[in-house]
Structures are given as C-alpha cells and as structure tokens.
C-alpha cells in the first residue's frame, strides 16, 4: 500500500522566483540550484537580446506590429531552454561556489572576503 506524504515534494523549477527562497519544502541545495539556474537564464536572456541587436535588418523579413513581442518571447524561451539544459555551465559553477560558502557558514567560519 502506497501512502502519499501530507506535504507533497515541491520542485523548485515549478515555483515563481519570489517564492523559492522562503519555501520550507525545498532543501537548501534545491534552492541554491534553482536560483543559480534562473540567474544564468537572466544573463543568457541579456546576451541573446544584445546579439539580436547586432543582426542586420533585411527587407526579406518584414517587420510586423507584434514582431518585437514575438522576438522577446523567442529569446526568453531560448534562454530558459539553454539554462535548463545545463550546457552553458555558468549555473553549475555558481551553484558550486555558493554551496561551498554555505558549508563554510554552517561550519561556523565566515567566508573570507578578498579585496
């Protein structure tokens, strides 16, 4: 007989950004991982928007009234997909560094700030 828990496990990727840090059902590792991934997605979004600005406009692709909105939607989905794939690698690196700092803080050692 399979009995489900009273509080179902919540996946960090299913929560809005503002609810991730204060959600008690997520482990610290899940929180740090998802926040790192979302930060990577923000950076990728900015990079992709800057790349789009450098594309030369052509008469072959007419500009419709909603094309800017459509292009933003495509850019957002592309950035999300890239960050979720883990292929870019920045989120994993950031997550590793943040996890190391959390371990130091839990051990009672304050992280050393270098100037």
pLDDT digits (tens, 9 = 90+) for 8-58: 566 676 676 677 777 787 888 888 888 899 999 999 999 999 998 887 777
Which pLDDT score is estimated for 8?
Answer: 59
- Least Cα distance to 84 among 46, 49, 44 occurs for 44
pTM for this predicted structure:
0.70
The more confidently predicted of residues 26 and 84 is 84
CB 45 within 8 A of CB 79: yes
Q: Report the distance separating Cα 35 and Cα 13, nearest Å.
A: 9
Band of pLDDT at residue 6, cut at 50, 70 and 90: low
Q: Report the distance separating Cα 28 and Cα 95, nearest Å.
A: 11
In the chain, where are the structural domains located?
12-53+72-105
Band of pLDDT at residue 110, cut at 50, 70 and 90: low
Band of pLDDT at residue 73, cut at 50, 70 and 90: very high
Band of pLDDT at residue 5, cut at 50, 70 and 90: low
Which pLDDT score is estimated for 66?
Answer: 80
């Amino acid at each position: 007989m399979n009995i489900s828990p009273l509080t179902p496990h919540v996946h960090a990727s299913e929560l809005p950004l503002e609810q991730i840090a204060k959600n008690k059902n997520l482990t610290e590792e899940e929180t740090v991982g998802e926040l790192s991934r979302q930060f990577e997605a923000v950076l990728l979004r900015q990079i992709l928007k800057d790349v789009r600005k450098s594309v030369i406009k052509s008469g072959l692709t007419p500009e419709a009234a909603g094309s800017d909105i459509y292009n933003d939607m495509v850019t957002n989905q592309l950035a999300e997909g890239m960050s979720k794939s883990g292929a870019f690698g920045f989120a994993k690196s950031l997550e590793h560094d943040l996890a190391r700092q959390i371990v130091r803080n839990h051990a009672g050692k304050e992280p050393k700030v270098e100037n």
